[in-house]
Amino acid sequence: MDVSSTLVLASLVLLLLLVFGMRKGKQGLRLPPGPTGLPLLGNLPQLNKHAPFKSFLEWSKQYGPVITVYLGLQRVVVLIGYETVKEALVDQAEDFSGRAPVPFLYKATRGYGLLISNGERWHQLRRFTLTTLRDFGMGRKKMEIWIQEESKYLVDLLRENKSASFDPSFFLSRAVSNVICALVFGQRFSYKDAQLLRLLQTISGILKFLSSPSGQLYNIFPRLMNYLPGRHQTIFREVDEIRNFCTEKITQHQETLNPDDPRDYIDCFLMRLNEEKNLPSTEFHNDNLISTVLNLFLAGTETTSSTMRYTMMLLIKYPHIQEKMQKEIDDVIGQTRSPTMEDRKSLPFTNAVIHEAQRFLDLVPMGLPHYATKDISFKGFIIPKDTVILPLLHSVLKGEDHWDNPWTFNPDHFLDNNGNFKPNPAFIPFASGKRACVGESLARMELFLFLVTLLQHFTFSSPEGPDSVDISPENSGFGNVPRRYEMIVTPR
């Protein structure tokens, strides 16, 4: 046999070993079934690049609610449907509490912080963060007052447009950002602050990048992409700008810290850092502080502002729903008193619309990736250690077994026959279990108070009419990114 024939044979054997290894996993382990992939590329050539979750749904029709796919060489187990996702994230919460080291997030945070940590680091940072944010009012009356005050600033800003059409994106994100800034930095920023606007534009660009094919490609082939030019190189420089902003705020806090009067999250972290500075195993150090503040600032801004922007787009698209909300709000609160969270139970239709907007937007369709930190036994299969796990929130929020018309925007999904608000267990836009969003109560409060306040004072419309409004997402990858649009705000 000549050299060329030997090389061809060796290549074929290597390919067969790769394919066998990808399908078999660890010796003796029964992986969930899934489509056959190619060596090195896995199932990437078969994947819908613009909406990967659609491919997962199609494959689940053949292989069931737990499937194995390969994104490059990375083994991924996808969980599909409410019952399957609940069984994993709630019933086996500890097994599925791991967070995948998503390459983009890992590089952006340098491996530190709350978002992608596991083990003792995650336990300590999550417990501390939840307790501290609650102490400063998250989900409580103090935060309600902050949002009411910020709502007034937003109303005044919108009045300045005097019925001219404009893109509401950064009007809304500045208001939402100021709420998380009050918790984390102890201050709000002027809407005319050029640095804040620049940072918000950057944050918006990050979500858009992560939801693009190039962003997904980075997470699959990070080592290769790091050596190639492209948008990802610019994005990481922009992430460093936000990181530097957070670092500057921390430095300012260090210089003015008064342990007897902590002002915000950063102060409390610095106090804990000083208490444990001589403990070798402490997780309260500068690297975790910077990355956790970065986590909170990014997540606390873009997700809620995108949801608000999309909800207002839906109200412009369906003016009869907007009118019905305004009538309910007028009847219960009027147009002068600030809304409170106590009003929510008296505004069932308004509450239903906000829930339905979140469900219909389906902001993070694949959820944040989980991770098998050990071999997991699940539904008769073994999910091997180091497997990425995707709880497909899209399949829960749009599942036909829990929603009458999942592909239609319909507030009746959250109303009973008497018009009372009706919760649905399949409503999990914030995920569930041990890795559920730490800011869920804050986001719920912001959405309700901001939107009710805006509807008290304004009617929203499109300069080209409701039929011109395209409510389909601009990008569908990591997130369903709402389209930018122009709107007219008419004082009532």
Query: For the segment 40-78, what is each residue's pLDDT rounded down to a tens digit?
Result: 899 999 999 889 999 999 999 999 999 999 999 999 999
pLDDT of residue 143: 87
Structure tokens given for 108: 């952006």
| CB burial string 122-155: b at 16+ within 10 A, e below | bebbbebbeebbeebbbbeeebbebbeebbeebb
Instruction: Tell me which DSSP letter residue 475 carries.
Output: E
With 50 as the cut, is the pLDDT of residue 103 above it?
yes
* Contact by Cβ (8 Å): 413, 356: yes
Share of the chain above pLDDT 70, in %: 94
* Contact by Cβ (8 Å): 207, 481: yes
The CATH number covering residue 278 comes to 1.10.630.10
Task: Name residues whose C-beta falls within 8 Å of residue 478's C-beta, 6 or more positions apart in sequence.
Answer: 207, 210, 211, 215, 216, 364, 366
In a domain, 71, yes or no: yes
Whether residues 321 and 382 fall in one domain: no
Distance, CA of 76 to CA of 92 (rounded, Å): 18
Instruction: Tell me which DSSP letter residue 339 carries.
Output: P
Whether residues 37 and 184 fall in one domain: no
pLDDT of residue 29: 65
Whether residues 46 and 141 fall in one domain: no
> Where do the DSSP E strands lie in 338-487?
370-371, 376-378, 381-383, 388-391, 458-461, 475-476, 480-481
Whether residues 159 and 43 fall in one domain: no
Distance, CA of 376 to CA of 231 (rounded, Å): 37
Whether residues 25 and 154 fall in one domain: no
The count of structural domains within the chain is 2
In a domain, 320, yes or no: yes
In a domain, 369, yes or no: no
Whether residues 81 and 146 fall in one domain: no
- 334 by Cβ neighbours in 10 Å (0-12 / 13-18 / 19+) ranks as exposed
Return the amino acid letter for 127.
R
With 60 as the cut, is the pLDDT of residue 126 above it?
yes
Confidence of residue 135 (pLDDT cuts 50, 70, 90): confident
Which of 396, 332, 323 has the alpha carbon at shortest distance from 359?
396
342-357 confidence digits (pLDDT tens): 999 999 999 999 999 9
In a domain, 261, yes or no: yes
In a domain, 404, yes or no: yes
Q: Give the structural domain span for 166.
A: 112-362+398-491
In a domain, 266, yes or no: yes
Name residue, tokens 């447009």: 161
Whether residues 96 and 165 fall in one domain: no
In a domain, 105, yes or no: no
Which of 330, 341, 313, 333 has the alpha carbon at shortest distance from 148?
341
What does the pLDDT average to over 11-35? 58
Whether residues 179 and 231 fall in one domain: yes
Whether residues 82 and 142 fall in one domain: no
299-332 confidence digits (pLDDT tens): 889 899 999 999 999 999 999 999 999 999 999 9
Whether residues 393 and 407 fall in one domain: no
Confidence of residue 404 (pLDDT cuts 50, 70, 90): very high
With 90 as the cut, is the pLDDT of residue 139 above it?
no
What does the pLDDT average to over 364-392? 96
Whether residues 10 and 149 fall in one domain: no
Q: What is the DSSP string of 162-178?
A: TT--B--HHHHHHHHHH
Whether residues 176 and 72 fall in one domain: no
Confidence of residue 14 (pLDDT cuts 50, 70, 90): very low
In a domain, 368, yes or no: no
0.85 exceeded by pTM:
yes
Distance, CA of 321 to CA of 319 (rounded, Å): 5
Confidence of residue 392 (pLDDT cuts 50, 70, 90): very high
**Least confident range of 24-28, 363-367, 392-396:** 24-28
* φ, ψ at 467 (rounded to 5°): -65, -20
**Least confident range of 26-35, 39-48, 153-162, 307-316:** 26-35
